[in-house]
Chains A and B, each alone.
Chain A
């Protein structure tokens, strides 16, 4: 046995160039397979964790998906707002730990503007219950302060102290401007990979203030309140779009949801963000399915390539194996030799591929986050990824058995006097 291990090692070293190609090919296949699946699961994870730590999202009665669409993804618009008194009533509920009201409707160069309270920066969580962090600056303190998401700051090249003007309404085309009341950038958030990155955050009072002299979506003709004068008015909002609610105990979430539904002052609904996000994912998850199909195709092509490489690298040993046979090595020894080599090549290749994925996530992760808002995590492999790695190992091993079986079947004479 020692002789065969020695022979296997020496023979492999002799063919190190071809074998390293085989190992590289297997490593690349594994890298591609596991990498794509990692992206797939992380995209889903990112989506599912666009908001976390929020137990309920409460808004005027509509569909759960719609509520999540505008409250979390700032897509579309609420058909109805909820009254400020309802927000106050909700906040006063003994089961409620905190509330963060949000108000949508304005935009800045296509990026949505979110009116909220400073509590937003304390309570809003995303991903693995992470709090928002400031890349620079601080939360809004003054009335016309604005905090930008990372995408907004990067796309528009804003720095702290820059002045920005909000537009009335969502979208990008010919919107009326709140030009008389510009905002000052006081903070820029670190990137989150969530819709927060594309949001301009201002205070609820500021939203109220810029609309004091507006009515029906347009400035009231002949009536203008200068920015310096707005503080003389009551800036308590009359209505908000939705409220993010944190409970003292998660166990109370269904009780609270029923209480919201039974609220008598106005028709309201509370949705569990996770449930609604899952429901939404069902609708927009085509992309994930496309990645799944790509993964399957990559798997098929990689495994076929792997079989070809192993076959080619082992087939060239036909003569060498015949010499060994002639010198007394039994066919079972040859079978063992080839299967051993195939298993080793595949194992080393797969290990390298997995190592490459592990190395690539911290190296390329920041780039993926900066460029595409895709937060890649170095989490333990999912069952699918474990299955993929196992499939590569089994395929490589099985592929090495084909030439091993062929070598087993070769007659000695065939290898010793090779036919050209």
Chain B
């Protein structure tokens, strides 16, 4: 459940994956805040859609959730640990252990094969590797299972990621985000560059796999047509007091 400030206390702590409170973030040299968020919570396994027009701070918000950025004030807690309390080094390790990213431009490493791209988070994190081992035989095995679930045929797996179509890369990026079963998956407009049919098919796959992995999903997009597929829908301009002050709606 995504909640407002009022019912935060009523939620049992163990179910919360992400908690953001009084988060203010301002870019260096900017005169005004980019993000000013009172409270936001995401529960374990919850699928949240955050809608907002371009420029309202969607990507910045995801970066704050994923510990890529740290707010100037307030706290963003992932599994009850505050990103601000961790050193940069520890944030890197904590992020890869618990967060899967699906970037707008997918960000696959062109020189690795499809399956190597997918298993990379397990290679960089012992936690993810252990999760994968607990659920499958190995990181490679789980990567292959996820690729199958994402309907990427076996003959594509050894190919370099850069040789795939946009739709295929999108699914590889999703599989990579989900390998090692992170508690939180952050998706930054991954459907913006595909047509409607592919978009719907991708969303269906993504949501199904997230459900199976019990991963919470925070999906930001400007495309309202997909909002109905999520358990919760939030309007960032309403949530972000900085945006409403600047009159973005």
Interface residues of A (CB under 8 A from B): 3, 7, 10-11, 13-14, 319-320, 323-332, 411-413, 416-417
Contact = CB atoms under 8 A, between A and B. Distances in A.
A328 B125 contact: yes
Interface of B: 59-60, 63, 68-69, 88-89, 92-93, 95-97, 101, 103-104, 107, 109-112, 120-121, 123-125
A331 B107 contact: no
A331 B88 CA distance: 8
Nearest to B121: A327
B109 A328 contact: no
Given A323-B109, A412-B68, A417 B59 contact: yes
Contacts of B124: 3, 327-329
A319 B108 CA distance: 11
B68 A13 contact: no
A412 B68 CA distance: 6
Nearest to A10: B111
Nearest to B69: A413
Contact of B112 (A10, A411, A413, A416): A10
A412 B91 CA distance: 12
A5 to B, nearest CB: 12
A101 B185 CA distance: 96
Contacts of A412: 63, 68
Nearest to A6: B123
B113 to A, nearest CB: 9
A54 to B, nearest CB: 65
A379 B204 CA distance: 72
Contact of B92 (A7, A10, A11, A329): A329
A299 to B, nearest CB: 35
A328 B95 contact: yes
A14 B111 contact: yes
29 contacts: A10-B112, A11-B111, A14-B110, A14-B111, A320-B109, A326-B95, A326-B103, A327-B120, A327-B121, A328-B92, A328-B93, A328-B95, A328-B96, A328-B97, A328-B121, A329-B124, A330-B89, A330-B92, A330-B93, A331-B88, A331-B89, A411-B68, A411-B69, A412-B63, A413-B59, A413-B63, A413-B68, A413-B69, A416-B107
B121 A416 contact: no
Most buried by B among A14, A326, A331, A417: A326
Given A7-B109, A10-B112, A323-B109, 16 more contacts: A3-B124, A10-B111, A14-B110, A319-B107, A320-B109, A323-B107, A326-B107, A327-B124, A328-B95, A328-B97, A330-B92, A330-B93, A331-B88, A331-B92, A411-B68, A416-B103
B161 to A, nearest CB: 11
Most buried by B among A3, A7, A319, A325: A7
Nearest to B160: A14
A413 to B, nearest CB: 5
Contacts of B110: 14
A214 B97 CA distance: 105
B54 to A, nearest CB: 12
Contacts of B60: 413
Given A3-B124, A416-B103, A417-B59, A326 B68 contact: yes
Contacts of B107: 319, 323, 326, 416
B98 to A, nearest CB: 10
A162 to B, nearest CB: 69
Nearest to B101: A326
A11 B160 CA distance: 12
Contacts of A319: 107
A173 B145 CA distance: 95
Contacts of A324: 109
A19 to B, nearest CB: 12
Contacts of B88: 330-331
A7 B109 CA distance: 10
Contacts of B68: 326, 411-413, 416
B103 A325 contact: no
Most buried by B among A3, A11, A319, A327: A327
Contacts of A7: 109
A13 B111 contact: yes
A244 to B, nearest CB: 69
A294 to B, nearest CB: 41
Most buried by B among A14, A323, A325, A329: A323
Contacts of B111: 10-11, 13-14
A3 B124 CA distance: 7
A330 B90 CA distance: 8
B229 to A, nearest CB: 25
Nearest to B176: A327
A411 B69 CA distance: 8
Contacts of B95: 326, 328
Contacts of A14: 110-111
Contacts of B120: 327
Interchain residue pairs A-B with the least CB separation, the first 3: A328-B96, A14-B111, A328-B124
B71 to A, nearest CB: 13
Nearest to B120: A327
A3 B123 contact: yes
Contacts of A323: 107, 109
A163 B205 CA distance: 99
